[in-house]
Each structure stands twice: as structure tokens, then as C-alpha cells.
Amino acid sequence: MDIDAHHAGTYVVARLAGISHREAEIIAHAAQYVDDATNEGVIHFDIKPENVLVEDLDGHPNVKLADFGSCHSIYSKPPFTEYISTR
């Protein structure tokens, strides 16, 4: 994951909204992963709290996105019927 301005902007907006430091960090990392996947041509159609996995790693959250079973390639033709399978 490349931490860039998208990560920083998401973190700042979350903190301004009154979200705690730890939760804002989790949100920023998850948003960065979605941004990175989209930049690589993958659209994750099932983003929800259950698909954001968080592990405490030396006091810092280690965030991972899960369940890419319903993702699609941005290069497939609409209505995005070409699935990228994880099975």
C-alpha cells in the first residue's frame, strides 16, 4: 500500500468529524486500500464493516480488506458481468 494524500485527507476529515485517532487511522487505511485496488483496475462491490479486518500490531491497527468475491475489473464491459473470482 502506498500511503498518499488520499490517506492523509481521509484521516483529517475523519478526525474533524469527531472520530477517535485509532478509528480514523482504520478508516484512512481501508480507504487507501480501496483507492489502490481501483487504481489497479479492481472494483470491490462489497465494502462493509464486516469486510474490514483489523488486527492490533504493536499498538497500531493492521488493516486488511476481505471478500473480493464480488469484485469486477474496470476493463470489463458494462454491466460489469465479467467477475474476478477468488475461488
Catalytic sites, residue numbers: 46
The widest CA-to-CA distance across the chain, in whole angstroms, is 44
| 54/43 Cα distance (integer angstroms) | 21
In 1-87, at which residue ranges do the beta strands (DSSP E only) sit? 42-43, 52-57, 60-65, 72-73
Peptide linkage before 79 cis (omega within 30 of 0): yes
